[in-house]
Structure 1
């Protein structure tokens, strides 16, 4: 069974906002080419979660892990995302849809952010 990873970010009106998330998707694909990776957004940008999930199903994924690229489980993760997950499950009942915790709740991510915060920063560098 082919594994899919559906990265889910908020979205923004400014297309530059998506650059770090696109970089994450590229790095995941490079690290494990056997995993089908799709990047999706809640609002303002496309594809949305349901469309990106359908694209992974079309690639033959029988199991898709949905990873919210949010620092915490706020309203979007607790309220909006479960509705979208039910839409995916309803549209593709043969697929195992697995919702992972928000990435910001992962200890390795918190530690990486703490280490980044401790690094000296040159004020002249943006």
Structure 2
């Protein structure tokens, strides 16, 4: 049997629970498009599960093909410094798992184009004032 695959959408986290709502919608939309893949959220701080907890849970369930998608607009210190260190630790802790990380969402040309489309479309809507 093929190893089940997982996609972890990795976001920053915030104190306000409402902050996670768009990420939950993104997770649900992604899960609907890839029913054979386990799609979950993980957070850097302030919210649960944190990335190490989520990887541990997946590996414990026998999921060894894991892709981490940083859902960050900018490549700040968290993506450039914290995430690689976290992944190094996780690769040592779970050598049986294939952990891959892709570019931050905001570094992807298609994501930026979609955001630009949204910004330009806002010009077509009259101001409420």
Shift of 1:41: 0.5
Matched position secondary structure for 2:82: helix
In structure 2, stretches of 5+ residues that fail to align are none
Superposition deviation, residue 71 in structure 1? 0.7
Partner of 1:23: 25
Q: 1:67 aligns with which of 49, 66, 69?
A: 69
Equivalent of 1:112, from 99, 111, 114? Answer: 114
| Structure 1 unpaired stretches of 5+ | none
Which contiguous aligned blocks of 4+ residues in structure 1 show a shift greater than 4 angstroms?
none
Please say which structure displays the higher CA radius of gyration. Answer: 2
- Separation (CA, whole Å) in 2 of partners of 1:117 and 1:2: 38
Shift of 1:38: 1.5
Report deviation, 1:104.
Answer: 0.9
1:41-94 Cα shifts (integer Å, max 9, x gaps): 111101000001112223322210111000121100011101111121122110
Question: Number of residue pairs matched?
Answer: 125
Inter-CA distance 57–122: structure 2 relative to 1 (3 Å threshold): farther
Equivalent-residue separation in structure 1 for 2:56 and 2:40 (angstroms): 10
1:123: how far off?
A: 3.3
Deviation at 1:115, TM superposition (A): 0.3
Task: Quote the RMSD (CA, aligned, Å).
Answer: 1.4
Q: Counterpart of 1:6 in 2: which secondary structure?
A: strand
Residue 3 of structure 1 and its aligned partner are, at CA, apart by: 1.0
Distance 1:60 1:124, change over 3 A: farther
